[in-house]
Structure 1
Amino acid sequence: MVDVATSIVIRRPRHAVAGYAMDPLNAPAWYRNISSVRRLEEGSFGVGARTAFEARFLGRDLSYTYEVKELVPGQLLVMATSQGPFPMRTSYRFEALDAASTRVHLRNAGQPSGFGKLLAPLMAPMMRRANTADLRALKHILEAG
């Protein structure tokens, strides 16, 4: 089992941070390893909505679909995928520190299989570094705008 939690404080109100980060179509702008994202259904984004991601991790191209498992607008988004070499549950939680600052909590947990199982001991530190860099990119985008 790999379980990685990271967080960062962004000097923007919670609604602005959550509104941007909870939209999966924005992921390629702040996730270094994600190259493309597309919604699989039209209509509102809510529990059960599916989104297809194309990414590169550990030198491999990955295609996977996340499904929204929990959604509390402005506060919590939990998505999970059961396919591929690394089934994953990703959660975003947004905590207002004051009217102008938000702490973003990002957690990835999953049970690697296939090639991922062989690399499991290295995955947690690599994921922590990648998540930290991605949260810094999110902070940069949101604080600049």
Structure 2
Amino acid sequence: MAHILNRTVLTRWDPDSVFDYLLDFEHAEEWDAGTVSCERLGGDGGVGTRYRNVSKFLGRETTLDYEVEKVVPGRQFVITGGNKTVESEDTVIVTPTISGGTEVEYRARMTFKGIAAVVSPLLTPFLKRLADDTEQQLRATLDAKAAT
């Protein structure tokens, strides 16, 4: 069973800056409520760039290795990751607003494996809460960046 979490955030920060900031996935520890740390393992920031992300969920830390799969410059990127328990595909779409700000659509698709797949329906409310927390943190972080 795949869990799909979709959130949209509006910010005053300009689209090019937002895109560049989010594409550098090392910044996830600033804007993603679940990320404890994230380090670049290799690559120039574009397709093929790899990251190691340590996240905390339900009180436990887990490590996922991610790779940037697709980049539409200034508009969209897809980064996939996983470990023995979960596979994740995150899509970020950046759209300019009429006011000069940015709309960010963040979609996470998580597919649990093994025993985690059996209990994954029970995780739905916790995943939704994590998505809500990330939405708030993402908005606050981008707006703070816009103010500097």
Name the TM tier (shorter chain): 0.7 to 0.9
Question: Residue 39 of structure 2 corresponds to which residue in structure 1?
Answer: 38
Q: 1:133 to 1:68 in 2, by over 3 A?
A: same
Amino acid at match of 1:9: L
Q: What's the CA shift for 1:70?
A: 0.3
C-alpha contact 1:5 1:108 (8 A) present in aligned 2: yes
Question: Residue 139 of structure 1 corresponds to which residue in structure 2?
Answer: 139
How many residue pairs get aligned? The number is 144
Question: Residue 84 of structure 1 corresponds to which residue in structure 2?
Answer: 84
The 5-angstrom pairing of residues 19-34 of structure 1 reads 19-34=20-35
RMSD of aligned residue pairs (Cα, Å)? 1.7
The 5-angstrom pairing of residues 27-106 of structure 1 reads 27-41=28-42, 43-106=43-106
Q: What's the CA shift for 1:139?
A: 1.7
C-alpha contact 1:10 1:102 (8 A) present in aligned 2: yes
Q: What's the CA shift for 1:116?
A: 2.4
C-alpha contact 1:3 1:124 (8 A) present in aligned 2: no
Q: What's the CA shift for 1:115?
A: 4.0
Amino acid at match of 2:138: L
Q: What's the CA shift for 1:14?
A: 0.9
C-alpha contact 1:4 1:124 (8 A) present in aligned 2: no
What is the CA–CA distance in structure 2 between the aligned matches of 1:50 and 1:9, rounded to whole Å? Answer: 28
Gaps of 5+ in 2: none
Amino acid at match of 1:80: T
TM-score by length of 2: 0.86
TM-score by length of 1: 0.88
Q: Deviations over 1:59-102 (max 9, x none)?
A: 32101100111012221110112423111111111111225221
Percent identity between matched residues is 25
Q: What secondary structure sits across from 1:135 in the alignment?
A: helix
